[in-house]
Amino acid sequence: MIVVIVGPTGVGKTKLSIELAKKLNAEIINGDAMQVYKELNIATAKITKEEMENIPHHLIDFVDKNSLYTVFDYQKDCRNKIKEIKDKGKNIIIVGGTGLYIKASLYNYQFNKETKTYDFSNKSNEELLNEIKKIEPSINIHINNRKRLERYLTKLYNNSISTNNGNEKVYDFKMIGLTTSRDNLYKRINERVDRMVQDGLIEEARNLYDNNVKSKAVDTCIGYKELWEYFDGKITLEDAIELIKKDSRHYAKRQYTFFNNQFSMNWFNVNYDNFDETIAEVYRFITKED
């Protein structure tokens, strides 16, 4: 059995995945593009060893922060892990918020195998940026930086985009989406950013900044790019933190759009007053006979 748990940032996916893994004798595969990178911990809300509760986790904290790890790389690694876990006779839970990575692994996506050049002369800057955000929702490129927009989209087309947006499933799986009201979600996101700051987000980002780490991971990860502006003296720390909250809320909206457009979703409203009820509701749905 493969269970996929998705939802916007901060909704409670990690906690649900752990509890379901216990009930289903399952191992967990990370489905978040940023959590694959080593040393990027607080900004990515990476699960800790203690939080894993001895449940095996895969495709997490294993890629050098300076490397370019694409959706094509993830597709290969995820499918290998699915086979590996199935061979053990165990169930699989894929959990994360990067919809493109998850879909590419579960559907018949095929990728370009050659480097090409592209003519973007008929596209506006806004169209280029929107195209990029379909693939990398958290990207932060200024709309007036035409050269970088074209360069980045060319890189994505050559490394990270399907030549066949296949809708045919490679695996059978059950799709679970966690949701809550917009006001509650935004409140949770704001509170989580405050906890990240308390847990050392600024120090983590400062270390990357001082070591001049300017990789794709750092450029696209919400939490670092905003603090870069503070370190550069362009904005105050208070403004940087508010910008992290704002960008996180906008990212959550884009996640909802992707999930609803690309998957046949089964949404569950989270009961934060009694999370056990949400666990039980999802478990009943997963285990009911088709």
* Low-confidence residues in the chain, pLDDT < 70: 112-116, 135-138, 158-166, 289-290
Q: Where are the alpha helices (DSSP H) in the chain?
A: 13-24, 49-52, 71-87, 99-106, 125-135, 146-159, 182-199, 201-210, 216-220, 225-231, 237-262, 275-287
Contact (CB, 8 A) for 96 and 35: yes
CA distances from 69 to 18, 36, 137, 173, 273 (A): 26, 9, 16, 25, 38
Q: What is the pLDDT of residue 289?
A: 58
- pTM, two decimals, is 0.83
Question: Can you tell me the distance from the alpha carbon of 146 to that of 125, in angstroms, rounded to the nearest whole number?
Answer: 6
Q: What is the pLDDT of residue 172?
A: 95
Contact (CB, 8 A) for 46 and 75: no
Q: What is the pLDDT of residue 56?
A: 97
Residue 178, classed as helix, strand or coil, is strand
Q: What is the pLDDT of residue 110?
A: 79
Residue type, 214: K
Q: What are phi and psi of 38, to 5 degrees?
A: -70, 150
Q: What is the pLDDT of residue 84?
A: 97
Q: What is the pLDDT of residue 8?
A: 93
Q: What is the CA radius of gyration of the chain?
A: 19
Q: What is the pLDDT of residue 39?
A: 94
Q: What is the pLDDT of residue 122?
A: 86
Question: Can you tell me the distance from the alpha carbon of 105 to that of 169, in angstroms, rounded to the nearest whole number?
Answer: 9
Contact (CB, 8 A) for 189 and 244: no
